Amino acid sequence: MESIKFENEFYLVRELVIPEFGYVKVSTLGLNFKMMLDDGSYFSEKARILDEDIFFYVELNQIMFNEYQLINLLKSEL
């Protein structure tokens, strides 16, 4: 499993293949919350660029799901 460093903290990220979307990156809601301000704008330009590369955000425990479970979770949410 990979990680992304943002504002001196590391966040887990997974790359998956979903037939309908191809290769996608999934990370944790913690990263999403860190990148966004209360008014819904981005913390920084770096946050905006990073967010555009992440397909979906999940709970910390969900990012640890096996690939099959994680893909099914995403499909159920989309």
Q: What is the mean pLDDT of residues 9-37?
A: 95
**pLDDT tens readout for residues 27-69:** 999 999 999 999 999 999 999 999 999 999 999 999 999 999 9
Residues 16/56, Cβ–Cβ less than 8 Å: no
Q: In what order do the strands lie in the sheet with 56-58?
A: 2-6, 9-18, 22-28, 56-58
Outline where the chain has alpha helix (H).
29-35, 45-53, 67-77
pLDDT above 90 (res 78): no
5 pLDDT exceeds 90? yes
pLDDT > 90? residue 4? yes
Q: Is the pLDDT of residue 77 over 90?
A: no
Return the domain boundaries, the chain.
2-77
Look up residue 27 and give its two tokens. 């990370």
Spatial separation of the C-alpha atoms in residues 75 and 61, rounded to whole Å: 17
